[in-house]
Each structure stands twice: as C-alpha cells, then as structure tokens.
Amino acid sequence: MITITFIGDEASAAGFRLLGVDCICPDREALMSSIESAQKQTTLLLLGAQAAQQLPEGVLDDLLASSLAPPVVVVPDLRGLSGMPDRLRQQLGLSE
C-alpha cells in the first residue's frame, strides 16, 4: 500500500489531510525524530519548506540524495511564508 506523509506547518497539513495524507506537525525539537520515524513507515515523504529550513546543515542534502529512504520532496508552505531553501533552488537549477 502506498502511504504519503507530510511533515510541516498546521495550515498546509490541513489541506494535505483532506487528500488522505498522513500529517505530522512537530516543533523544532521533534523535527528530526519525526522525519526518522516517518521514513520507516511511508512510501513518499513531503517536507514543508519551513521545516526543511529548520534542519541542520547537510541533513536536507542527505535526505534528498538518499536512495535507502523513501523519496523526499520539499513542498512550498501554503501561505508562501517560506519558499524553498536557497540550497535546494541551487540543486534544482532554479536560482537566478
């Protein structure tokens, strides 16, 4: 069975829940443990841009590059308060 998990802000999570996506809205201290737990249980991990920005340096790169974990996709926050991290924009060739 395919499962999708979103980790990020409450407002975005409300929309994802309507689509049947499992959602986790951790505080900064619980972010890494939430990601590690979700990786063991999900087929696709959606990570809110604001949550991605809170990760320690290099962790996002490791998540995006890992072939052992489920695919991780950074999604913009619902309100556009936090876009994609600059390092992700650069990796995708979207920086100006």
CB count, 10 Å around CB of 1?
A: 3
pTM: 0.81
Domains in the chain, CATH or no CATH each: 4-92 (3.40.50.10580)
* Cα separation, 69 vs 86, whole angstroms: 23
Tens place of pLDDT per residue across the chain (96 aa): 889 999 999 999 999 999 999 999 999 999 999 999 999 999 999 999 889 989 988 899 899 887 677 999 998 877 665 555 566 666 656 565
CB count, 10 Å around CB of 60?
A: 21
